[in-house]
Amino acid sequence: MCEIPGSEDSSKIGYIKLTTFNQNAAGSVKEAIKKLRENNVKAFVLDLRNNSGGLFPEGIEIAKIWMDKGVIVYICDSRGVRDIYEADGASTVAASEPLVVLVNKGTASASEILAGALKDNKRAVVYGEPTYGKGKIQSVFALSDGSGLAVTVARYETPARTDIDKVGVTPDRPLPASFPTDEDGFCSCLRDPASCNLNAARLFVRS
């Protein structure tokens, strides 16, 4: 929990750093939100920097935590859209509080899907640098000599129909080069914005 003097939304900001999408990721995010709310947190920062992905279903479930409606991701192949994942409100925990998402070039795969969904649905303001760009879905076929052949069978597209592969998700705003990567440094930056060239009072403002 970070206290931000002069914030337009709230003086208490909940900071959640997600490093991977394992089988406990969605449950851990829900628990973190619950604990932070008990401390009267009214806005959140979700840090996905250097999160290389993991389990695709967990990324979808975490998007549903923050969204009550809207497309999360399109699965597309050579014939067009093959599948659509959407939020329907059934798993929503925090769809209304102000939300910032932090990304960088180490944000990949499932974390890019999550960042793209929150950005394109205008659920969050995304800060950082363009993400890694890992948007292919591949199947591996065994060959007679024991080797394998990886074949791309589909791709991920964000709700705005941006092909993630090799392009990544472009943030709404850049982060200053001096912006810290750890929790304590993050809170210190928000308490003393001049130290990291960040306008903390407008942290949750899109433009």
Q: Annotated catalytic, 134?
A: yes
The pLDDT of residue 37: 95
Contacting residues for 116 by C-beta, under 8 A, at least 6 apart:
73, 158, 159, 160, 162, 164, 169
The pLDDT of residue 76: 95
Mean pLDDT (the chain) is: 90
Any bridge partners for residue 156, and if so which? 75
Contacting residues for 88 by C-beta, under 8 A, at least 6 apart:
64, 69
Name the pTM for this structure. Answer: 0.90
Q: Which residues of the chain carry a pLDDT beneath 50?
A: 9
The β-bridge relationship of strands 136-142 and 148-157 is antiparallel
- Taking a C-beta distance cutoff of 8 angstroms, is the pair 119, 130 a contact? no
Give the type of residue at 140. Answer: V
The β-bridge relationship of strands 125-128 and 136-142 is unpaired
The pLDDT of residue 6: 58
Question: Which domains does the chain show, CATH number per domain?
Answer: 2-74+86-134+161-202 (3.90.226.10)
Catalytic, out of 7, 111, 119, 134: 134
Q: How far apart are CA 31 and CA 196, in angstroms?
A: 30
The pLDDT of residue 5: 64
Q: pLDDT tens for residues 120-154? A: 999 999 999 999 999 998 788 888 888 888 887 89
The pLDDT of residue 14: 94
At residue 187, what are phi and psi to the nearest 5 degrees? -65, -40
Catalytic, out of 7, 109, 111, 119: 109
Which has the closest alpha carbon to 131: 93, 91, 162? 162
**Percent of the chain at pLDDT exceeding 90:** 67
The pLDDT of residue 166: 86
Q: How far apart are CA 181 and CA 4, in angstroms?
A: 17
Helix, strand, coil percentages in the chain from 3-state DSSP, rounded to 5: 25, 30, 45
The pLDDT of residue 205: 86
The pLDDT of residue 7: 53
DSSP, residue by residue, 8-19: SS-SEEEEEE--
- Taking a C-beta distance cutoff of 8 angstroms, is the pair 133, 106 a contact? no
Q: What does the block give as tokens for 204?
A: 């949750």
